[in-house]
Chain A
Amino acid sequence: AQSVAQPEDQVNVAEGNPLTVKCTYSVSGNPYLFWYVQYPNRGLQFLLKYITGDNLVKGSYGFEAEFNKSQTSFHLKKPSALVSDSALYFCAVRDMIAGFQKLVFGTGTRLLVSP
């Protein structure tokens, strides 16, 4: 079965500094990888995805993610963090069962950006 791991429960960064939220994956075949963000008391929102092509994927709100096949990683990055980026971030991988697709989520990483 496909799975993703987020090794950090929380990441702290100062506003204006670069941020990285880590994700590693375990899949058979070519991975479909995603990042979602959850703001307080809200549902998850799609940020970006990697299916194929360029290893650097750009998404919403200035976020990007780097797909690294040799390290089986898909880390989320942003060059300059904002206080408003503080939220819960989930990495996910698509799993296929009998032709049906579902998302398998990591445990989430809380990002705290301090002023």
Chain B
Amino acid sequence: NAGVTQTPKFRVLKTGQSMTLLCAQDMNHEYMYWYRQDPGMGLRLIHYSVGEGTTAKGEVPDGYNVSRLKKQNFLLGLESAAPSQTSVYFCASVGPSAGGTEAFFGQGTRLTVV
């Protein structure tokens, strides 16, 4: 029972490079989220999805794009990485279990942009 799986776990990018972070959940959850975690700032919502084929912007969407082509996968893309995007990225999902309130998180992706 994997829950929420993120790949890769670590990555170093040069400024201007692109990459895609993959989030996969096996709980058949409708809602999926991408957060970034920075020291002293908690977790901030980047983008979210309420179901397959739908995405929306969160608090800090600039410089990121997302896609949800399959219900179980939520991809986060950086088209042209900047040092300000150095962060730890977390994916989460929420489903009808536990009253539809408990979020399940992946282990995170630590991204460094140099």
Contact = CB atoms under 8 A, between A and B. Distances in A.
Contacts of B43: 44, 90, 103, 105
Interface residues of B, number: 27
Nearest to A91: B42
Nearest to B43: A105
Q: Is the interface of B mostly helix, strand, loop or mixed?
A: strand
Interface in A84-115: 90, 94, 100-108
A69 to B, nearest CB: 19
Interface residues of A, number: 23
Interface stretch (B13-21, B74-82, B103-111): B103-111
Q: Is the interface of A mostly helix, strand, loop or mixed?
A: strand
Interface stretch (A11-19, A45-53, A70-78): A45-53
B102 A51 contact: no
Interface in B76-112: 90, 92, 94, 99-108
B105 A43 contact: yes
A105 B36 CA distance: 11
Given A43-B106, A90-B42, A108-B42, A102 B58 contact: yes
Contacts of B100: 101
A12 to B, nearest CB: 18
Interface of A: 9, 32, 34, 36, 41-46, 49, 51, 90, 94, 100-108
Interface of B: 4, 31, 33, 35, 40-45, 48, 50, 56, 58, 90, 92, 94, 99-108
10 contacts: A32-B101, A36-B103, A43-B105, A43-B107, A43-B108, A90-B43, A100-B31, A102-B58, A105-B44, A107-B40
Given A49-B101, A101-B100, A107-B42, 7 more contacts: A36-B103, A41-B108, A46-B104, A51-B99, A102-B33, A103-B33, A105-B43
